Amino acid sequence: MPQDRFGYPLTTTSAEAAAIYVEALDRLFALHEEVVPAIDRAIDLDPDFALAHSVRARGLAMMGEAAEARASALRGHQLSAHATPRERRHTHIAALVAEGRGAEALPLVEEHASDYPRDAMPLSYALGVYGLLGFGGFRDFPQRQCHLLAQVAPEWDDDWWFLASYGWALVEVGEWKSGTAMLDRALELKPDNANAVHGRAHAYYECGDAGAGEAFLRQSLPSFARSHPLHGHLSWHLALFALQRGDADEAVSIYRDAIGPAASQALPMFTLIDSASFLWRSLMQGAVHRAEASELSAYIARHQPAAGLPFVNAHLAMACAVLGDNGAAVTLREQVEERLTDGRQASGDVVLRVCEAITGVLEDPTRAASILERAQMDLARLGGSNAQRDVFLDTLAYAHLQAGDDDAARSTTATRAESRAQHLDEGWLGRLSPA
């Protein structure tokens, strides 16, 4: 029986299909394009190859083809009835995730990791800031992610996928030196791994080296086509570094070229989040981009006309604030409250508090600051990375400044400056003044 590259048997009648599966899974983990055409060749060779259908589902989900992804994942699970116990649970997890049943999938992932610590794809569903842990509503999800990876680490050798995953996870909990070493090794082993490039950008951000981060991304970005799933988001990191250096003109130039709706080829959720975050950060630094805000408003109307995931909702609030659209802000808060009542916001009510604060910061900054002060301990429940969630602490500092309380603003950012890197605060805070 053929094996995958992690040492587990594959139930397939075709050795060639197994080899194509191994290659396609690596393409998926490195965020290469053309995953689905590659895995389709394996399915043509063996239509009953259960795990190939699971990889196809993941590739389709990466392309935003949710309905077809669900069908492929279900087919994989059905076909696994005559496969090994590992493959049956592997495909079950994939099917649950494709159906949006993450709360049911996560305990199975943790159990599976204990039994099969090198079975990478089920493990990968829990990882990253948008994974089952990141969007699971956990206040300590970064620590949970590190704990899960630490448990399986003894079973992994010098593997580029694992090093990239664990390295970024360590960066997110403040262990950026050891995390950076892992990410650098992952890139040495596989330089075209977009996930490792992304994690390395976060490491530059966390250690406070915006100049080196910019240089790294300018060298790396040309390797990824504009259609690449991470091209727009890596460009967002590049623009964030420019903002940190105080170069607002360069930052908005990057936004117009690669991040905003007119340029981005990423999935709508990613484009919305990166665009709203950038425009809100820019506004807090004193730059109002009205044409870009109107463009984002039209994009939201087409792709996200109602509230959705908590992290998305927080960014919809930023878009409302940038636009100054009080009617849309009221509607958003009502929809979020309805979803909370129905139990459809894993984050709990922190999402509603954040939406209220962001959309109200210009009208009543003192109240907004009070809301955000109380929300700080729960912000990780929204998901996202440190770099992404920093916008909420920036908003708190901005609210204090708008209220005329510079001392409170500086006190707000003091902990971050001491525990992480001063560049996250000193540059922009010194330039802001109340409107």
List, for residues 362-420, the tens digit of each pLDDT value: 999 999 999 999 999 999 999 999 999 999 999 999 999 999 998 898 888 877 766 67
Assigned domain for 400 exists: yes
pLDDT in tens, 312-334: 999 999 999 999 999 999 999 99
Residue 270 pLDDT: 98
pLDDT in tens, 81-101: 999 999 999 999 999 999 999
Assigned domain for 220 exists: no
Give yes or no for residue 106 having a pLDDT over 70: yes
Assigned domain for 333 exists: yes
Query: What's the number of domains the chain is made of?
Result: 2
**Residue at which a domain ends, from 108, 125, 142:** 125
Query: Would you state the torsion angle of the CA atoms of residues 424, 410, 142, 353, taken in this order, to the nearest 10 degrees?
Result: -120
| Owning domain of residue 94 | 15-125
Assigned domain for 20 exists: yes
Closest CA to 245 of 212, 274, 218, 270: 212
C-alpha separations of 335 from 110, 276, 307 in Å: 33, 19, 6
Closest CA to 267 of 60, 71, 25: 60
Residue 435 pLDDT: 42
pTM assigned to the model: 0.96
Query: Would you state the torsion angle of the CA atoms of residues 308, 312, 318, 324, taken in this order, to the nearest 10 degrees?
Result: -30
**Residue at which a domain ends, from 84, 104, 125:** 125
**Local confidence band at 425 (pLDDT 50, 70, 90 cut-offs):** low
Average pLDDT, the chain: 95
Give yes or no for residue 424 having a pLDDT over 80: no
Assigned domain for 178 exists: no
**Residue at which a domain ends, from 70, 94, 125:** 125
Assigned domain for 375 exists: yes
Assigned domain for 430 exists: yes
Mean pLDDT within 273-285 = 96
Assigned domain for 130 exists: no
Q: What is the CATH number of the domain that holds 110?
A: 1.25.40.10
**Local confidence band at 245 (pLDDT 50, 70, 90 cut-offs):** confident
Closest CA to 36 of 59, 3, 2, 9: 59
Q: What's the CA gap between 89 and 112, in Å, rounded? A: 8
